Amino acid sequence: MRISERLFLLLALFLQIGGANAQTVPTDHTALSKANFLNPPVEARPRALWTWVNGNFDKSTITSELEEAKAKGMGGFDIWDVSCMQDEDSIVPSGEPFMSDKYTDAIAHAITEATRLGLDIGLVISSGWNSGGAWTTAENATMAIYRSVQVVKGPRKVSVNLPLPILPKKVEGSLSVAKIDENGYPAYYKDILVQAFPLTIDSLIDDTSKIINVSGKLNRKGGLEWNAPPGDWKIVRMVCANTGQPMIAHSPSSNGPMIDHYNPTATEIHIRYFLEKLKAKLGSFKGTAFKYLYTDSYEVRGELWTPNMLAEFEKRFGYSMIPFLPVFEKFTVISKDASQRFLYDYNQLLSDLIIDSHFLKAKSLCEEYGIGFVAEAAGPGQPLHNCPFESLKSSGVLTFPRGEFWHNPKDPSKAIYVIKGVASASHIYNQKYVEAEAFTSTNLWQESLNELKPGVDRAFCEGLNRINFHTFPHVPKAFGKPGYIYGFGTQVGVTQTWWPKVKPFMDYLARSSYMLQQGNFSAEVLYYYGDQSPNFVPEKHIDPALGFGYDYDVTNTDVILNKLSVENNRLSLPHGQKYSVLVLPDSKEMNLEVLKKLRLLVSQGAILIGPKPEVSVGYKDFIKDDLELKEIANEMWGRIDGTSNTENLFGKGKIIYRRTIRDVLTSLNVQPDVILESGVEPDSIDFIHRTTSGEDIYFISSKSKKNRAIKLKLKSAYRNAELWDPLTGKTYSVDQHQEGGLLSLGFNIYPEGSVFIVLSNNVGNNILRVPLFQSNKQQVLSRIWNVSFDQSLGGPKPIALQRLSDLSTHLNDSIRGYSGIITYTTSFKADKSYNSRKYSASIDLGVIGVVAEVYLNGNSLGTVWNSPYILPLDSLIKKGENILKIEVANRWVNRLIADSKLPPKQRLSNTNVTRLPNGWFYPMKNLPDENYKVPASGLLGPVKIVYREKSKLAK
């Protein structure tokens, strides 16, 4: 790195340290507070999926891990019984059955201890996932539709055998747990229907009277005698029976079937099973740490069914689905259009049933006991998971929704993000929290905190405002270090090498979450994603027709019909969320009731962008609905043809088609939230904007790996801007000026750095004011030393290493085989030219692997976990000799690879994972090789101490 870049970074450091005397206001959990920003409340602090692997737990370790989590700045845990997934050598013991008396007692102990410590506890409602267990009976277990089929020729009396369909012995590679009696019959099954329908060349049944119900002809053994009319006939016996799908990743003693999520009785029995068992241990949950039950992403397989499906369909849609059942056999009934409309209704039924019978039902039951219900109900859908729901509604009905994002170390841009849809659901349904299963991966102990930051910053810009780590391993002392673990996730826990240095990282996440929990999300564009099910919101992406500087939410039919209104020509939700325009999907289809509501909204002043709908959705009364829809659409869109005519006034509002969204917003004088200046490319910056009753809050994230001087304009009616640094909790005022409703300001930002900008009419006192950064005019006085160190190793059984004489040498070979905290010490002298009133002194560690804490003359200067690795030396540096100590935590992989080559009794580490970078790849005993290089460890440097003249850096 060039000297000019180093000086740039030290200016960034000066921004961080200069506000040490900033005033704070009294703690107030109801308003934006600098005290809460510095030390966020528990509701903003990171949580974690607390994996009790294979049903193993230890009460004393439960207590110590809770105490450690509290000390390091976490907010709580979700207790999760789960298998280890990776255990080639079969060393992980099988523990207690999930929710047995001993297990429930341990959960109650964790809740009691968390209550003492002021932490929150959630509980996953299964061993592994999704919702079920050994207590789930056959009539409440997951079901699917199965078929026996015969083809016959008429006219004649036919006698055929339609036995019970053969049920699968395996479901997605796992053995079925469906119970079969001594006669080969499943413990639960129900005949749905026996139908006969004509075979035709084009598989078209143009008249439903040709579909014959022959259920009454079937005897108990599956025999059927029937006078078949002329022609070829297909006879189908449809049976509802258990899929036998077991819990995914269940612990060895806790196998069992998943519940029927479409059946409210199954949900009630399942939820009460948990709550009554815990109530017997704890009494009332009021005042305890127990906050919610939680269920993971929906991953149930099969052509799912429930015994009450036919009745539910007719009740909700007003016609029978029986004539359309041949559609599931790839037949066309009446017409292609009619069959597609039936499937539209059927898919809507699947979504409505799981939302009403599982998510809403579970939430209602939990609220009876004074807690909430949380779920990953936003997908992802196909091809990954068989999720049937309209995800905005399924997320919106929860106590709060949870999504997920993955960490992809090789290509972060290709990581999975299920955040934007969860955030939109939270925004439109007035929920405070946007949570995520965070940093999911297969790389286990290998990520450094610096590598995790860009991914979480991206998630924050999508709307995330609370972290739930995937995962935090519960490691009883008998399991050693790093201990037996679930084979997925970024491992964040007390046995991690860098755990003793993790609090600044936790504070960064908590401060960012606290800020992003304030007020309402600010966006000008509301996209309607249509009425179909299943339906999912993709990752955040800005339509080129919108362009950088604007943001958006996505909405659904439920919110349009029941919550959306118009206030002062803006679309408004009851809790204050507002938008300038509503954008329709590029589709000819529309729900007639939605179009009627849109007509009302536009007549009251709303701006609508999109094509004119042409056909209604659903089957019942569709001919009448199509006529009414076309009449309303013609009235609203008028003479718009998309070329010579692109807009139509309607009432107080307007409908627009074939103009870019940005052009529309510009014509409405709706400014972007962010306008970049000074040559900063839009694809190098991301942001999110929230508003409170007295502030605009912007989170600005740099995606660039270079130092950046940023000058931008922010949309705000307020006249004062402050930088709030989530790394330190300190705040700074910056030079700024207003330009027609925009506030222009500038600041510098380090590689992949981030900052909050708070705009208000409050002017802070005793806060360092920093001028706009102008790199070509900076003048500094610097003096640089290369500092050489002796190295010693902490932890068990220190390993003797050669003396290090040159920090520019790559140290990986020198400390291979050691994992833990490495200590470097040296001394240096400060000469007469140093004066703390005139100069600022800082230490730049160069490159470290992976987290470092610096001590000067016995005093901790702080911990650095992200680039640039720079800390101030002011006030603690003294004239003459100074003692410098640097503690660096590296990764576990050094020790794990070294131990894999030793007999088990000689190893210092202990784990069930025997391959890297994850449990499926390269055997540790063969590493390192060309496939896997050991990551850099220790203090790689070069280390520099830099003086500079303060008067040249700030006013």
Quote the percentage of the chain above a pLDDT of 90: 71
Chain centroid offset of residue 900 CA: 35
Residue 788 CB-density burial (10 A; 0-12 exposed, 13-18 middle, 19+ buried): middle
CB 98 within 8 A of CB 127: yes
The residues, any chain, with a CB within 8 Å of residue 857's CB and separated by 6 or more, are 876, 878, 882, 883
b/e per residue 648-663 (b: at least 16 CB within 10 A): bebeebbbbbeeebbe
pLDDT band at 815 (very low <50, low <70, confident <90, very high): low
Residues 12-53: tens digit of each pLDDT: 333 332 322 222 223 333 579 999 999 999 999 999 999 999
pLDDT band at 800 (very low <50, low <70, confident <90, very high): very low
Q: At what angle do helices 264-282 and 361-368 cross, to 10 degrees?
A: 20
The residue among 433, 519, 460, 431 whose CA lies nearest residue 30 is: 519
CB 894 within 8 A of CB 937: yes
Q: Which residues pair with 758 in a beta bridge?
A: 697, 722
Average pLDDT, the chain: 88
Whole-number pLDDT of residue 562: 98
Whole-number pLDDT of residue 881: 82
Whole-number pLDDT of residue 938: 86
Q: Which residues pair with 41 in a beta bridge?
A: none
CB 674 within 8 A of CB 713: yes
Quote the percentage of the chain above a pLDDT of 70: 89
pLDDT band at 796 (very low <50, low <70, confident <90, very high): very low
H-run or E-run covering 70: helix 59-71
Q: Alpha-carbon torsion 354, 355, 361, 367, what sign? A: positive
CB 211 within 8 A of CB 194: no
Once rounded to an integer, what is the mean pLDDT over residues 484-489?
A: 95
Report d(CA 904, CA 24) in Å as an integer: 55
DSSP 659: S
Whole-number pLDDT of residue 591: 97
Report d(CA 376, CA 294) in Å as an integer: 8
| Residue, of 952 and 338, whose pLDDT is higher | 338
pLDDT band at 764 (very low <50, low <70, confident <90, very high): low
Least confident of 11-25, 225-239, 444-458, 486-500: 11-25
Report d(CA 892, CA 810) in Å as an integer: 18
Q: Residue 234: count other Cβ atoms within 10 Å of its Cβ.
A: 17
Whether 919 shows a pLDDT value over 80: the answer reads yes
Q: At what angle do helices 101-117 and 264-282 cross, to 10 degrees?
A: 70
CB 259 within 8 A of CB 136: yes
Residues 592-630: tens digit of each pLDDT: 999 999 999 999 999 999 999 999 999 999 999 999 999
Select, from the ranges 245-259, 675-689, 815-829, the one with the highest average predicted confidence (pLDDT): 245-259
| Residue, of 797 and 208, whose pLDDT is higher | 208
Whether 391 shows a pLDDT value over 60: the answer reads yes
Beta strands in 101-209 (DSSP E): 120-124, 143-161, 170-171, 174-175, 189-198, 204-205
Once rounded to an integer, what is the mean pLDDT over residues 671-677?
A: 93
CB 918 within 8 A of CB 942: no
Read off the amino acid at residue 705: K
Residues 768-791: tens digit of each pLDDT: 444 333 332 232 234 445 566 666
634: its two tokens: 């013609």
Read off the amino acid at residue 908: L
Once rounded to an integer, what is the mean pLDDT over residues 101-119?
A: 98
Residues 841-890: tens digit of each pLDDT: 788 888 898 999 999 999 999 999 998 898 887 777 777 888 888 899 99
Whole-number pLDDT of residue 788: 64
The residue among 456, 401, 404, 460 whose CA lies nearest residue 428 is: 401
Residue 704 CB-density burial (10 A; 0-12 exposed, 13-18 middle, 19+ buried): middle
CB 947 within 8 A of CB 783: yes
Residues 507-530: tens digit of each pLDDT: 999 999 999 999 999 999 999 999
Residues 566-579: tens digit of each pLDDT: 999 999 999 999 99
Whether 73 shows a pLDDT value over 70: the answer reads yes
Residues 216-245: tens digit of each pLDDT: 898 888 899 999 999 999 999 999 999 999
Report d(CA 61, CA 538) in Å as an integer: 40
Whole-number pLDDT of residue 816: 67
pLDDT band at 818 (very low <50, low <70, confident <90, very high): confident
The residues, any chain, with a CB within 8 Å of residue 457's CB and separated by 6 or more, are 686, 701, 752, 754
Give whole-number Cα distances, 150 to 147, 239, 279, in Å.
Answer: 10, 15, 53
Once rounded to an integer, what is the mean pLDDT over residues 151-178?
A: 89
Q: Which residues pair with 170 in a beta bridge?
A: 175
Whole-number pLDDT of residue 750: 87
Report d(CA 573, CA 565) in Å as an integer: 6
Least confident of 201-205, 437-441, 680-684: 680-684
